[in-house]
């Protein structure tokens, strides 16, 4: 994988991650489904395990409002192999602060989040 391919892959994953954090996207189950891998799993900052169906319930419920968007910093990524990207970043949502980690994979329909984990921090 060339440096350009790696950079494009990381940018595609970052773009997808930022879309999933957008309140407008989160309010649309179809748009969320387009960004989550069918085999998606998450271990939330609460310790709860999530899948596609349970995430759709939360995101369509307006858990992130336009008035209180998630603040993201220190976003970085690395292409682990062709078609697999690992992202890490810091998120602050109304004072709830967590380190976040996502694995994105390239599918026939584009880049989709395969795994996500959040860890609360002080």
- Work out whether the CA dihedral 109, 57, 11, 66 comes out positive or negative: positive
- Yes or no: is domain 3-120 CATH 3.30.9.10? no
Domain boundaries, the chain: 3-120
What's the pLDDT at 62? 56
110: left (phi over 0), alpha (psi -120 to 50) or beta: left
Tokens matching residue 28: 């649309």
What's the pLDDT at 10? 98
Q: Is the pTM of this model over 0.75?
A: yes
Mean pLDDT by 10 residues, the chain (122 residues): 93 97 90 96 92 85 65 96 97 92 97 96 82
What's the pLDDT at 63? 57
What are the residue ranges of helices labelled H in 1-122? Answer: 3-21, 23-26, 29-35, 52-59
Tokens matching residue 48: 């709860």
CA distance 12 to 52: 20
Torsion angle of C-alpha atoms 38, 28, 58, 114, degrees rounded to 10:
30
């Amino acid at each position: 994988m060339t440096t350009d391919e790696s950079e494009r892959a990381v940018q595609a994953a970052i773009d997808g991650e930022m879309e999933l954090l957008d309140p407008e996207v989160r309010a649309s189950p179809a748009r969320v489904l387009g960004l989550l891998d069918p085999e998606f799993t998450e271990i939330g900052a609460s310790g709860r395990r999530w899948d596609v169906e349970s995430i759709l319930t939360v995101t369509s419920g307006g858990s992130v409002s336009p008035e209180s968007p998630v603040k993201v910093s220190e976003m970085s990524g690395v292409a682990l192999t062709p078609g697999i990207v690992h992202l890490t970043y810091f998120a602050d949502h109304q004072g709830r602060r967590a380190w976040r980690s996502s694995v994105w994979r390239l599918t026939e329909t584009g880049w989709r989040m395969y795994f996500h984990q959040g860890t609360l921090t002080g």
